[in-house]
Structure 1
Amino acid sequence: MTITESACKSTPQSANLRIETLSFDKIPQQTRLFLDYLRDPVALRRFYPEAVRFHYQVTNRRDRVLANYKTDRAAVCEALERMNRVWKASEKTLANINLLRDADCLAVVSGQQAGLFGGPLYTIYKALSAVKLAECMTQRGLKAAPVFWIATEDHDFAEVAAAGFINRDCDLGRVGVPLEMHRDDVPVGCVTLNESVRETIQNLMGALPQTEFSEDLEKLLREAYEPGRKYGDAFACVMSALMSQHGLILFDPLDSQLKKLAAPLYSDAALRAHEIAVAIEKRSQELVASGYHAQVNPSENSFPLFLHDEDGARHALTRNANGKYQTKADGEEHSAAEFADWASREPE
């Protein structure tokens, strides 16, 4: 049987375009693990049990994924509709949220940090990859909706505070917002834009080549990156506009309603904190022993969650000699069970 996948079309020969490819192993600073995964992901199933050789093979997971899903779909979709409407979601996006309410619908999830003005180009590629795979699955008779996870809980503001682009002189240009806009202990998504962002947009538009899209681009950026708006919301507004015709659903993990729905997961992670930390440390050692680099620098005393105070600041927790966990800030210690109970009651 031949299946036509409108989202998986190759560039037609009649397009009169010259297409060139460059292997990642020709690009400096690529890790061995990444290159080996590109060559043969199945060979790395020891580290990536769900790896597949062809994208359509992920459909084999459908029944298992649906059977393991326990969270209230209606509540999730209510939160998704609320936040996506704020970001001026298209009718296609709202339709996909309604589709996701169905018990037999899958979510194809990608994601990235909330980069300035949409972030690096690969952010768009990630979003389109979710769209593409969701449509490929739909063409195979499955229900699927594309979702983009905005990593608003990230704290590395320096990574998202600037944008690179090709300027009028065909050189690499760069604009950014002041790093002082961010307080180190606060999630990037909670940063409030100040008046300086207007000048940043002006500098960008002055350096970009003028095209038939310039006016629309400037209008989009000025409406999205408005002083007083949260950094995560500004990014979401840009992504919503760029992906409107594709029905991409945007997801902000900082949302309090979604955190409440995730409370059982947080509680379980807290209760199994030491088990999780030991497993991560063991896996890191296995990666290094196989000639790869450790993905993180773990410790068996790590805790999988952060504690957020009333001011929104996050605090890391560490296991002490008594087997309890404490922050550096006040040194007050609690057991994993106490944190698990806390996470279930106040997941925000």
Structure 2
Amino acid sequence: MSVRVPLACYPGMNRFALDGGWRMADGRSSKGHLPSAIRHQLLESNQHWGIFPTIQDNALTIIAGQQVGFAGGPLYTLAKIASLIRIKRDLEKQNIPVNAFFWLATEDHDFEEIARIYVPASLVDAKQQLDLVCIRAIRAAGPRTVVGSLPVPETLIEQLLALFPIERPQWLREGITFRDSFAELIASITGNEIILVDALLPELRRAGAPLFEQIRARESEVQKALHDRSQELVAQGYQEQVVARDGDAYTLLFRVDDDGTRHATNEPVEPERTSTSALTRPLLQDFIFQPDIFIGGPSEIAYYAQIAPLHHLLGIPKPRLALRGHALVAPRRVVRAFERFGINPCSVFRSPDDILAEREPDGVTKVRNITEEAQRDLMKRIAEINELALPADHSLAGSIRRSIGHLEYHFNKLSARAIQGLARKDRERYIAARELVATLYPDRHVQDRVVSWFAYWTKYGQTLVDRLIEEIEPDADAFKIVDL
């Protein structure tokens, strides 16, 4: 049994994602045609990863994307892929041919994020106080080096294999790059349903040359449009997702050196050496693929809201935006606790003690009444002391006020501790609440933002993928807690 929860309960949800009006499009159906050079290279690279897709003519185009995180990255990466496949299957049931592309952000330089995963301690029998075990590697390359073409550090692989009783898989063979490792892992779980797109594919960059030239030639117009848009968003109560560099100019394009280092520049550079920023990557994607639907996370929806005027300025059709489905996962036994103990799903992003206090056990009301009665009686006695002491020595007024403050604090503390003790007497409910929080909000992080989906895959296998595709709800005002 999965549990459906209002998206507004998801901690830190971006306002752009909650306000569905940002996801409207131009109401078009492009059914564009990919240049033959790109089509050929996409098929060739996918076959190298073990994917043998078909790129259909006159088909609807849908696209999503993500960084090439170690071991597949956090759970939300799999949720994006599940959203892409779910939309594809739903359209195909209506006899609509679909090409589903997944953009591999191989040009990303955030090594610390890509080379780090968190594993639930409960899945690896780790004896520690925290809910999560962190696996990470320290950057050996420069701070601005694109990560996709870097080899996966052996230290990362060794840490992962030390936690799970598995043979070293092919997608973690010695010397493999983050790009190939990620792609081969995804190929093993999705088959031929989606087409992976390497953002650093030379043919892709060459096809984007007219866009790069236009951005450089019209930089002042692009910068002004972005600044004006920023003011509009702030006036409407939003925050811009990308802030202008040094408070002046937005980074639009980078030059990639032979060693993979990126440098912000607006000087003419060969397209093969040109890399996009967070604001121009969607433009390149839309320029080349002309997708009918883009499936993105809250931050990506915010990017589109920020660059909205650029599509018109540069003559690029804007796709319909669909918010990726949000899903958390837990063993079926854990999910059943919601119904068994009457726990509100929205409350799992709090402490177990707070959850238990929502449904007070017997005695809590009595403790509160006794505390309030005792406080009233004490205040009455203190008032009598005031009447006797203050006429004799007015300097005592400050001391009496401070003493009253201390007494009220300790009364409230005593009451809170007594109520917590009563709540914990309901041991089964407390244990269930603690397990729910540790699973879905480990170490005060929403599960899908940090927890490795591969960790769950080692236990549940293809069931994890199938259940996510079955339960995921893209572009919905709710998220799912999926039982496994």
Residues in 2 aligned to 1:235 and 1:191: alpha-carbon distance in whole angstroms? 12
- How far did 1:165 drift? 2.6
Corresponding position of 1:292: 238
Corresponding position of 1:61: 28
| Match 2:206 to one of 256, 260, 267 | 260
Corresponding position of 1:139: 93
- 1:225–1:181 distance in 2 versus 1, CA, 3 Å: farther
| Match 1:311 to one of 230, 245, 259 | 259
- How far did 1:158 drift? 1.4
Residues in 2 aligned to 1:139 and 1:154: alpha-carbon distance in whole angstroms? 35
Residues in 1 aligned to 2:234 and 2:116: alpha-carbon distance in whole angstroms? 33
Greater Rg by CA: 2
Corresponding position of 1:121: 75
- How far did 1:190 drift? 1.8
Structure 2 counterpart of 1:252, one-letter code = D
1:228 partner SS = coil
Residues in 1 aligned to 2:156 and 2:169: alpha-carbon distance in whole angstroms? 9
Superposition RMSD on alpha carbons, in Å? 2.5
Structure 1, unmatched stretches of 5+, are: 1-17, 52-59, 207-217, 318-324, 326-333
Deviations along 1:215-266, whole A, 9 cap, x unmatched? xxx34x631122211111111111111111x511111111112212222222
- With normalisation by structure 2, the TM-score equals 0.51
Corresponding position of 1:232: 179
Could you tell me whether the CA contact under 8 Å between 1:181 and 1:192 is conserved in 2?
Answer: no
Corresponding position of 2:115: 161
Count of paired positions: 268
Residues in 2 aligned to 1:237 and 1:127: alpha-carbon distance in whole angstroms? 14
Corresponding position of 2:455: none
- 1:203–1:286 distance in 2 versus 1, CA, 3 Å: farther
Could you tell me whether the CA contact under 8 Å between 2:59 and 2:96 is conserved in 1?
Answer: yes
Corresponding position of 2:48: 86
Structure 1 counterpart of 2:115, one-letter code = A
1:22 partner SS = strand
1:96 partner SS = coil
Corresponding position of 1:243: 190
- 1:106–1:286 distance in 2 versus 1, CA, 3 Å: same
- How far did 1:110 drift? 0.8
Structure 2 counterpart of 1:142, one-letter code = I
Deviations along 1:163-207, whole A, 9 cap, x unmatched? 12322449733342412244212111022123223312223316x
| Match 1:301 to one of 244, 249, 258 | 249
**1:91-106 residue pairs with structure 2 within 5 A?**
94-97=52-55, 99=56, 102=57, 104-106=58-60
Residues in 2 aligned to 1:267 and 1:20: alpha-carbon distance in whole angstroms? 49
Residues in 2 aligned to 1:176 and 1:227: alpha-carbon distance in whole angstroms? 18
Residues in 1 aligned to 2:93 and 2:11: alpha-carbon distance in whole angstroms? 38
- 1:233–1:200 distance in 2 versus 1, CA, 3 Å: same
- How far did 1:312 drift? 2.0
Corresponding position of 2:4: 21
Residues in 1 aligned to 2:105 and 2:273: alpha-carbon distance in whole angstroms? 21
Structure 2 counterpart of 1:138, one-letter code = E
Could you tell me whether the CA contact under 8 Å between 1:193 and 1:230 is conserved in 2?
Answer: yes
> What percentage of residue pairs aligned between the two structures are identical?
28
Structure 1 counterpart of 2:17, one-letter code = F
> Is the counterpart of residue 33 in structure 1 residue 16 in structure 2?
yes
Could you tell me whether the CA contact under 8 Å between 1:192 and 1:230 is conserved in 2?
Answer: yes
Could you tell me whether the CA contact under 8 Å between 2:103 and 2:196 is conserved in 1?
Answer: yes
Could you tell me whether the CA contact under 8 Å between 2:109 and 2:144 is conserved in 1?
Answer: yes
Deviations along 1:255-287, whole A, 9 cap, x unmatched? 112212222222222222222222122212211
Residues in 1 aligned to 2:75 and 2:60: alpha-carbon distance in whole angstroms? 26
Structure 2 counterpart of 1:61, one-letter code = R
- How far did 1:160 drift? 1.6
- How far did 1:70 drift? 6.6
> Is the counterpart of residue 50 in structure 1 residue 25 in structure 2?
yes
Residues in 1 aligned to 2:182 and 2:234: alpha-carbon distance in whole angstroms? 36
Corresponding position of 1:194: 153
Could you tell me whether the CA contact under 8 Å between 1:193 and 1:226 is conserved in 2?
Answer: no
Could you tell me whether the CA contact under 8 Å between 1:274 and 1:301 is conserved in 2?
Answer: no
1:237 partner SS = helix
- 1:130–1:222 distance in 2 versus 1, CA, 3 Å: same
Corresponding position of 1:281: 227
- With normalisation by structure 1, the TM-score equals 0.70
Residues in 1 aligned to 2:53 and 2:259: alpha-carbon distance in whole angstroms? 37
Residues in 2 aligned to 1:77 and 1:151: alpha-carbon distance in whole angstroms? 18
> Is the counterpart of residue 111 in structure 1 residue 89 in structure 2?
no
1:176 partner SS = strand
Structure 2, unmatched stretches of 5+, are: 276-484
- 1:26–1:307 distance in 2 versus 1, CA, 3 Å: same
- How far did 1:81 drift? 1.1
Structure 1 counterpart of 2:10, one-letter code = I
Could you tell me whether the CA contact under 8 Å between 1:115 and 1:159 is conserved in 2?
Answer: yes
Corresponding position of 2:317: none
